[in-house]
Every structure is written in C-alpha cells, then in structure tokens.
C-alpha cells in the first residue's frame, strides 16, 4: 500500500508548486501539510516523495526560463571550445552556478541522516520560519537594491549558493528566502536576487529529486502519487514563478515576512497544544 494516497499527492503537489520559489519555505509547508494529514514526515517514502515532486517545480523553471538557459548553456559550450568566448558573462555565469552548487551537495550528502532525522522536526520548522523572517526583513532594508543581474560576480554566486545550506539544515528557513536575502545583502535588486535564486536552485533541487527517486519508489510512495504530485507541482509552480517576478518588481518582501511569522507562531501553537506531532 502506498505511503501517500493519490488525493494527498495532489494536495502536496499544490503546496510544493506554490511555495517552492516563494521565500516562505516549501519544505516547511510540506511538513505542516503532511502533519495535518497524519502523514509521517520521517518516513523514507515520504522524504523521497517530497524531494521528487520538487523536480516538477524545477521543470517549471526550465520551461519558464528556457531561452535564458539555452543562451547560458550555449555560451558555456562555446567557451569550452573558444578561449575568446570565455570573457562572455553567460559563460562565466554557467561556471558560477556549477561551483556554487558544490557546497550544498557536499553538506547534503554528509548530513543526510541529521537532515532526515532530528532536523526534520516541526519544532525546527517553526523556529526557522520565524528566524528566517528576521533575516529577510533585515536584508530587504539593508540592501541598497542598486545592482542588476548583469552586475553579478563569482563571489555573489558562491555566497548565495552557500546560503542554500541554511535551508537544507533548517527546514522552514526557506531556500528561496536564504538565497534572496543573501543577494539583497550583496546589494542586488529584488528582481536580480529572485532570478539568481531560481538559477542556483535548478541543479541543487534537480539533483536532490533524482537522488531520492529510488527511495521514494522503493520505500512505498507509489508511482501514481509521485507522477500526480510532480505534474501538479509543475503547473502550479509555473504560475507561481510568473506571479513572483511581477510582484518583486513593484513590492518589498514585507508581505512574506509577516506571513512567515504568522505561520511560524501558529505552528508553535499547534505543536504546543498537541494538535500536531513534531
């Protein structure tokens, strides 16, 4: 019997699609949703399922930014063959994304038992939601928002890429929240910070989903729920990406900060009252 029903997979797919790229923590929201549906968050099949449906959201990024990705990959390929092409920003950016992904891969593999064990607690999620809100609030106010996407450097990519580790170790902190906050502290504008977060998330999240695929299927998640959850997350994430880029072009991150604090405090209350199990 599948650890997750078809109906539950659709709900989780919607949650993943909506929250993966918003700075509100998709992992945190998935764990809350799983807790409310009495799905054991530390079950290997469930852990694998949540990683795999992220691939649907990543596929949405690939489709949405298809022209940008083709341009960057093409520039990278030309640069490998022609020394003169290596001065092109897109060629360098491709290498930056690759290098910036290495730290989270190393930490993810080394700390896997810890991440799937004690750090999977909803108490950690609640605390990380609130703590991450403070970081985001400070970053949005301290950042000068004066640098665009073409002004990014290797240092920017590495610092933003390493910040993904915070979300990896502390579910609820939010990968998007951590990367966007770091980019803002480096004085990137909100749109540039958001786009950089998207591009850096592609290899890390795709790798995590493919790595967990065998555990998701082999541990009893079921093929049908996995396919359904992934498909739903793709559609919803595509809409979410489009909305987010338009939103950050005209607004601050205040709405996300307030939302995270409310959700974090509500989660503390539900855990304290025994409504949810950590």
User: With contact defined as beta carbons under 8 Å apart, do 126 and 266 qualify?
Assistant: no
pLDDT in tens, 166-207: 988 998 898 999 999 999 999 999 999 999 999 998 888 888
Element (H, E) at 190: helix 190-218
The SS3 assignment for 220 reads coil
Q: Are 26 and 16 in contact (CB under 8 A)?
A: yes
Residue among 145, 242, 125, 243 at smallest CA distance from 193: 145
Instruction: List, for residues 116-168, the tens digit of each pLDDT value.
Output: 778 878 899 999 999 999 999 999 999 988 999 889 999 999 999 999 999 88
Which of these, 191, 197, 192, lies nearest to 178 by C-alpha position? 197
Q: Where are the domains of the chain?
A: 6-273
Element (H, E) at 134: helix 122-142
Distance CA 97, CA 58 (A): 15
pLDDT tens digit sequence for 35-91: 888 887 777 777 778 878 888 998 999 999 999 999 999 999 999 999 988 999 999
Q: According to the model, what pLDDT value does residue 172 have?
A: 87
Prediction pTM value = 0.87
The two three-digit tokens of residue 182, written as one number: 């770091």
């Amino acid at each position: 019997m599948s650890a997750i029903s078809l109906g539950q997979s659709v709900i989780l797919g919607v949650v993943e699609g909506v929250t993966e790229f918003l700075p509100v923590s998709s992992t945190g929201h998935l764990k809350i949703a799983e807790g409310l549906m009495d799905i054991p968050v530390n079950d290997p099949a469930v852990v694998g399922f949540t990683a795999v449906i992220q691939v649907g959201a990543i596929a949405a990024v690939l489709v949405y930014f298809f022209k940008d990705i083709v341009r960057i990959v093409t520039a990278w390929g030309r640069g490998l063959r022609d020394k003169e092409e290596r001065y092109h920003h897109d060629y360098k950016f491709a290498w930056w994304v690759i290098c910036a992904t290495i730290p989270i891969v190393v930490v993810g593999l080394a700390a896997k038992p810890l991440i799937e064990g004690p750090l999977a607690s909803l108490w950690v999620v609640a605390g990380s939601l609130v703590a991450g809100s403070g970081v985001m609030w400070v970053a949005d106010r301290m950042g000068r928002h004066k640098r665009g996407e073409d002004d990014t450097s290797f240092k920017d990519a590495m610092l933003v890429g390493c910040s993904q580790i915070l979300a990896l170790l502390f579910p609820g902190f939010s990968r998007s929240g951590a990367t966007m906050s770091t980019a803002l502290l480096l004085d990137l504008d909100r749109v540039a910070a958001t786009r950089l977060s998207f591009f850096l998330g592609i290899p890390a999240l795709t790798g995590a989903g493919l790595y967990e695929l065998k555990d998701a299927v082999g541990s009893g998640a079921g093929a049908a729920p996995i396919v359904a959850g992934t498909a739903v997350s793709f559609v919803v994430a595509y809409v979410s990406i489009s909305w987010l880029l338009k939103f950050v072009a005209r607004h601050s991150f205040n709405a996300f900060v307030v939302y995270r604090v409310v959700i974090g405090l509500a989660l503390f209350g539900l855990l304290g009252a025994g409504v949810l199990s950590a």
